[in-house]
Amino acid sequence: MEIINFFNKLLRKIVPHGSGAKLVIIGFSIVILIIFIAIFAPFLTSYSPTKSVGLSLQPPSLKHLMGTNRLGYDMFSRIVYGARTILIVVILSTIISLSIGLPLGLLSGYYGGIIDRILSIIMDSIYAFPGLILAIAVAAVIGPGVINTALAIAIVYVPTYYRMARGQTFSIREQLYIEAMKAIGAKDRTIMIKHILPNLLPTMTIVFSLSVADTILTEASLSFLGLGVTAPTPDWGYDLRAGKEFLPAGYWWLITFPGLFIILLTIGFSFIGEGLNEILNPRMKVRP
């Protein structure tokens, strides 16, 4: 998350205030580009990402746009197919954590009492661990793989959605229109779904965008450490790990392109989150 905060502070200095829409457009453009690459990977390259297609450690050329790795795999193919891997892991883990954290936060904030105390203790216990350390611990227990990596990351971010949903619900439930709904006999389920949940969506959208950006780095970190996606599955984090030992010998392309795409996708979602925050957060609109 520190890297995401760095990007956001940098944006504040570079991009003038009031340009939230521009940030969203730029961010969406980057993300859509990566999604396009992932979807149309078979049409963008004729090489398999898991088969040797030439000599090992060949520099970028017209035949191999991003060179080859030590096994003779085409790096461009691994980049475009690797986009699929990271998007699947990130989207799956984010959906899981949002699907768990948001309802629990809504219930906890609305009812309070013993439910709130129990859930808060559990979530605070999870949140007390540094995100990457917790993801490493969970991944080490359940093992590597695309699904397991998504589950390990999802556990880390459940408290984030829970805390935001709980805090917003605490505030909203005290509003007069909620008291009026209770007075006329509206059911708790109706109040939560039709009147509180819609008010949580703007905040959840911002948190979603920023947490996805952080999730990308977490996924890449796990694969870099050998606890996420493993060979021969194309993955940017794994390729970054595999190429670092060859950097002192001058084989720069092995880590440059995977690292560049990790940063690019992270910046894309970070731009979206920061832009939406500027658009949807009323307190930011009154600034000069």
Mean pLDDT by 10 residues, the chain (288 residues): 54 56 87 94 90 88 90 93 92 92 91 89 88 88 88 92 90 84 84 86 83 89 87 89 88 92 92 81 46
Domain containing 135 equals 89-233+261-285
Q: Which pLDDT score, from 0 to 100, does residue 8 have?
A: 55
In a domain, 255, yes or no: no
Q: Which pLDDT score, from 0 to 100, does residue 5 have?
A: 58
Q: Which pLDDT score, from 0 to 100, does residue 285 have?
A: 45
In a domain, 18, yes or no: no
Q: Which pLDDT score, from 0 to 100, does residue 121 have?
A: 92
Q: Which pLDDT score, from 0 to 100, does residue 13 have?
A: 55
- Count of structural domains, the chain: 1
Q: Which pLDDT score, from 0 to 100, does residue 205 have?
A: 83
In a domain, 26, yes or no: no
The whole-model pTM stands at 0.83
Q: Which pLDDT score, from 0 to 100, does residue 4 have?
A: 54
In a domain, 238, yes or no: no
CATH at 208? 1.10.3720.10
In a domain, 8, yes or no: no
3-state SS record for the chain: CHHHHHHHHHHHHHCCCCCHHHHHHHHHHHHHHHHHHHHCHHHHCCCCCCCCCCCCCCCCCCCCCCCECCCCCEHHHHHHHHHHHHHHHHHHHHHHHHHHHHHHHHHHHHHCHHHHHHHHHHHHHHHCCCHHHHHHHHHHHHCCCHHHHHHHHHHHHHHHHHHHHHHHHHHHCCCHHHHHHHHCCCCHHHHHHHHHHHHHHHHHHHHHHHHHHHHHHHHHHHHHCCCCCCCCCCCHHHHHHHHHCCHHHCCCHHHHHHHHHHHHHHHHHHHHHHHHHHHHCHHHHCCC
In a domain, 123, yes or no: yes
In a domain, 105, yes or no: yes
In a domain, 210, yes or no: yes
